[in-house]
Structure 1
Amino acid sequence: MAARLIGLTGGIGSGKTTIANFFKEQGIPLYIADDEAKTILYTPDAVKEVREAFGKNVFTNEMPDRSKLASVVFSDPEKLKTLNAIIHPKVKEHFQKWMEQHNNEKFVIREAAILFESGSYIDCDKIILVTAPLDLRIRRVMERDKTTREKVLERINAQWDDKKKEELSDFIITNIELENAKAHALEILKILNKMEK
């Protein structure tokens, strides 16, 4: 019997990765799709496809440059779709192999920034959404990435808004005070542990 799949998502700056890692600390197997996507970007197949799709302007030292790519794709929805079409099938394949290795678990968590946008939420048994007020999210990302408010808003606008995500989520963690968010995460964990495998 396959492990149940719990999707965990949230907009940029919501603190979803912090919450995901908190679940991992509780012993839950965690797959961070965005980390895998970053790794896959530098594999020979992906490098070739990115060069064909975007040209050498998004490269530095013969490898894709993530900041150059970001400035291209987050200002053009069609280019973002193109990049996702290169990376996501490869992440999906990698994730399927990872799932096979965790079949004996009761459930696993897959953290993905664009769980809804990519359509992969359909595969999840339950979905946890991490949210935070917009101004707080913007401030967090500006501090973390040393970037401008405009650049952060560009990335936020490339994702679904929280209202749309909330309608499709089973659990919502509001991450303003981290300790409160962690306490809520533990409550959710109790509910998940009662699920039938």
Structure 2
Amino acid sequence: MTPKIIGLTGGIGSGKTTVANFFKKLGVPIYIADTEAKALMNRSKIIKRKLIKLFGEQAYIDDKLNKPFIASQIFSNQDLLQQMNAIVHPKVAKHFANWVKKQSTAYVISEAAILFENGSYKKYDYIITVVAPKEVRLKRVLKRDSSSKEKVEAIMNNQWSDNQKIELSDFVINNTNLETTKLEVGKVHKKILKRITNP
């Protein structure tokens, strides 16, 4: 039986990875789209060639993806971002499909930041959205990345609001307190299993 595919999303700083790790502890296989995309950008000769054509030789330093340079290029240029996604996303999708085939659990989770924004939410069986107050998210990101408040707020403004995401989600996990989040994950896990076994 092919596992059901659950999308896990949330705005920057909402704590998607924390939630993903709780699911992982329950034995659910997790696919982190962003991590896999970066790995493919370093590994795939085709992607490398296309990105160099798009961004120039600076896209790679010593054969490794020049992340700060790429980030600065796409930060305020939606067109470049879309062109880059058109190169990378199909490869990630293929990689993900092969990964799913190797799993033998009732469901798997794919964690992706822009599920709604890029329309890919339609491909999932169920969607979990992680939410947290804006101030909490801002604090987390500033602590985690060496980014400025303006930069983080610009990213937030480019993403859908929590309310927009909640409307299209099957499950919502509020991630402000770790213990509560862990309990919520356990409850959602049980609900998903119940839905899969009694559709």
TM over 0.5: yes
Give the letter for the 1:177 counterpart. N
- Where structure 1 has 5 or more consecutive residues not aligned to the other structure, the ranges are none
- Give the secondary structure class of the aligned counterpart of 1:194: helix
2:83 counterpart residue number: 82
Distance, in Å, in 1 between the alignment partners of 2:132 and 2:112 is 16
Equivalent pairs: percent with the same residue?
45
Q: What stretches of structure 1 move > 3 A for 4+ residues in a row? A: none
2:184 counterpart residue number: 184
Instruction: Tell me if structure 2 keeps the 8 A contact 1:50–1:64.
Output: no
1:45 counterpart residue number: 46
1:7 counterpart residue number: 7
Distance, in Å, in 2 between the alignment partners of 1:159 and 1:80 is 14
Distance, in Å, in 1 between the alignment partners of 2:19 and 2:11 is 13
- Give the secondary structure class of the aligned counterpart of 1:7: strand
State the TM-score, normalizing by the size of structure 1. 0.93
Say if 2:176 is the partner of 1:163.
Answer: no
Number of paired residues? Answer: 196
1:154 counterpart residue number: 154
Distance, in Å, in 2 between the alignment partners of 1:160 and 1:78 is 18
1:28 counterpart residue number: 28
Distance, in Å, in 2 between the alignment partners of 1:41 and 1:157 is 26
1:195 counterpart residue number: 195
Instruction: Tell me if structure 2 keeps the 8 A contact 1:77–1:158.
Output: no
State the TM-score, normalizing by the size of structure 2. 0.93
Give the letter for the 1:88 counterpart. H
Say if 2:109 is the partner of 1:109.
Answer: yes
Deviations 1:42-83 (A, max 9, x none): 121111111111112443334331111111112111111111
Alignment RMSD:
1.4
Distance, in Å, in 2 between the alignment partners of 1:162 and 1:50 is 32
